[in-house]
């Protein structure tokens, strides 16, 4: 079975199907002020070619990348990518790689304590840490001796999925009402906090340290970022007034999925669109659910983790990805000129 999966994977990512290869680098940043690691993955166009060691097996359908390949001449626009709850910087590789193929540099972070391989319950309930991670990573990337020469600081965008979708909107200037959000999750919205990634989160909502931290959240808007694309954003119940979005000045695009049971469109994507003046919105119809936005997986992983990697028979994850790719590409090319 593994041999079959690997062969299918090779067909999908064979470099002969593409005109240009993708370089990839990993940066082990640490935000000393928050005592918080911010591991950051960067993908970019490269003229270097794949080496034997670059062709490592992955359980996800992706292109092979040139590890530490030569950087492009630049300057190119930069897109900052935020993963969903319990995900990781590599769980949206399909999106990162497609955007690189369309002329962008893409940087994705691991949100500490909120990744698939490092789960800390209280970190699932601190939404403000995520935009701070993105802003810190951006600062470090712009300071890097090599990358700062190829990134156009006037053309920076942000894109994120689920909790990462909220992250993007917070960077745009959205201000959550934490007491309202907690009340919702403790009452009529309690089922929305029963996440497959970390069941039982509701019992931490009364944590005294968490409640104290919520009263000291710094401004999260990052004016260096000019355009914002939120895919199936979560944390929507913390937003009930248009005034909470008054600080947003850049263009916003939001997508939702009609059959999303994790971040229902009524209280999340649709709610954001209703409250954010001038935002654009697209909703996937039918049986398209929440986890369709994750990487496509090889057969073995689909069988092991069907919740995350298998979809309704009427849904093609690949086709949904292609549509998101197209929407995001057009949005950023139009707004990061």
Paired sense of beta strands 118-119 and 114-115, if any: antiparallel
* Residues 107-166: tens digit of each pLDDT: 999 999 999 999 999 999 999 999 999 999 999 999 999 999 999 999 999 999 999 999
Q: What was the pLDDT predicted at 18?
A: 43
Q: How confident is the model at residue 12 (pLDDT cuts 50, 70, 90)?
A: very low
Residues 194-217 have a mean pLDDT of 94
**C-beta pairs of 192-195 under 8 Å, 24+ apart in sequence:** 192/237, 192/262, 192/263, 192/264, 192/267, 195/85, 195/86, 195/124, 195/262
In terms of pLDDT, which residue wins out, 76 or 10?
76
Looking at the predicted structure, is the pLDDT value of residue 327 above 50? yes
Cα–Cα distance measured from residue 174 to residue 188, given in angstroms and rounded to the nearest whole number: 23
Give percent of the chain above pLDDT 90. 91
Q: What was the pLDDT predicted at 69?
A: 96
* Residues 45-84: tens digit of each pLDDT: 999 999 988 998 888 999 999 999 999 997 999 999 999 9
Q: What was the pLDDT predicted at 20?
A: 79
User: Which candidate, 295, 302, 179, places its Cα nearest to that of 244?
Assistant: 179
* Residues 265-309: tens digit of each pLDDT: 999 999 999 999 999 999 999 999 999 999 999 999 999 999 999
Q: What was the pLDDT predicted at 42?
A: 98
Phi-psi region at 163: left, alpha or beta (left = phi > 0; alpha = psi -120 to 50)? alpha
Residues 206-221 have a mean pLDDT of 96
- SS3 string of the chain? CHHHHHHHHHHHHCHHHCCCEEEEEEEEEEECCCCEEEEEEEEEEECCCCCHHHCCCCCECCCCCEECCCCCCCCEEEEEEECCCCECCCCCHHHHHHHHHCCCEEEEECCCCEECCEECHHHHHCCCHHHHHHHHHHHHHHHCCCHHHCEEEEEEEEEEECHHHHHHHHHHCCCCCHHHHHHHHHCCCHHHHCECCECCHHHHCCCHHHHHHHCCCCCCCCCCCCEEEEECCCCHHHCCCHHHHCCCCCCEEEEEECCCCCCCCCCCHHHHHHHCCCCEEEEECCCCCCHHHCCCECHHHHHHCHHHHCCCCCCCHHHHHHHHHHHHHHHHHHHCC
Cα–Cα distance measured from residue 75 to residue 313, given in angstroms and rounded to the nearest whole number: 43
Cα–Cα distance measured from residue 173 to residue 221, given in angstroms and rounded to the nearest whole number: 4
Please provide the average confidence, as pLDDT, over all residues in the chain: 93
Q: What was the pLDDT predicted at 74?
A: 78
Residues 177-191 have a mean pLDDT of 95
Q: What was the pLDDT predicted at 2?
A: 33
Residues 28-36 have a mean pLDDT of 98
Structural domains in the chain plus CATH codes: 2-335 (3.40.50.1820)
- Are 39 and 328 in contact by the 8 Å Cβ rule? The answer is no
The CB-side HSE value for 324 (13 A sphere, CA atoms) comes to 31
């Amino acid at each position: 079975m593994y041999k079959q999966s690997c062969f299918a994977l090779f067909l999908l990512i064979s470099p002969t199907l593409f005109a240009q290869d993708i370089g990839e680098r990993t940066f082990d940043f640490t935000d000393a002020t928050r005592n918080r690691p911010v591991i950051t993955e960067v993908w970019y166009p490269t003229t270097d070619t794949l080496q034997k060691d670059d062709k490592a097996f992955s359980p996800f359908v992706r292109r092979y990348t040139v590890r530490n390949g030569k950087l492009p001449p630049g300057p190119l626009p930069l897109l900052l990518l935020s993963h969903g709850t319990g995900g990781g910087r590599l769980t949206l590789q399909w999106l990162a790689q497609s955007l690189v193929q369309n002329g962008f540099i893409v940087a994705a972070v691991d949100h500490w304590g909120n990744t698939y391989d490092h789960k800390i319950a209280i970190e699932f309930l601190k939404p403000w840490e995520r935009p701070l991670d993105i802003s810190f990573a951006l600062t470090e990337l712009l300071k890097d001796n090599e990358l700062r020469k190829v990134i156009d600081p006037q053309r920076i965008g942000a894109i994120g999925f689920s909790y990462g979708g909220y992250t993007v909107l917070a960077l745009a200037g959205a201000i959550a009402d934490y007491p309202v959000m907690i009340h919702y999750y403790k009452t009529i919205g309690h089922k929305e906090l029963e996440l497959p990634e970390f069941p039982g989160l509701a019992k931490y909502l009364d944590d005294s340290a968490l409640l104290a931290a919520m009263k000291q959240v710094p401004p999260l808007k990052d004016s260096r970022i000019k355009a914002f694309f939120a895919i199936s954003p979560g944390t929507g119940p913390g937003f009930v007034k248009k005034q909470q979005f008054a600080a947003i000045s850049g263009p916003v695009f939001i997508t939702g999925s009609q059959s999303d049971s994790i971040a229902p469109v009524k209280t999340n994507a649709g709610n954001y669109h209703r409250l954010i003046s001038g935002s654009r919105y697209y909703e996937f119809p039918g049986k398209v659910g929440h986890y369709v936005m994750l990487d496509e997986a090889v057969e073995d992983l689909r069988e092991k983790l069907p919740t995350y990697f298998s979809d309704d028979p009427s849904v093609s994850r690949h086709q949904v990805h292609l549509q998101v790719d197209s929407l995001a590409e057009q949005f950023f090319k139009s707004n990061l000129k």
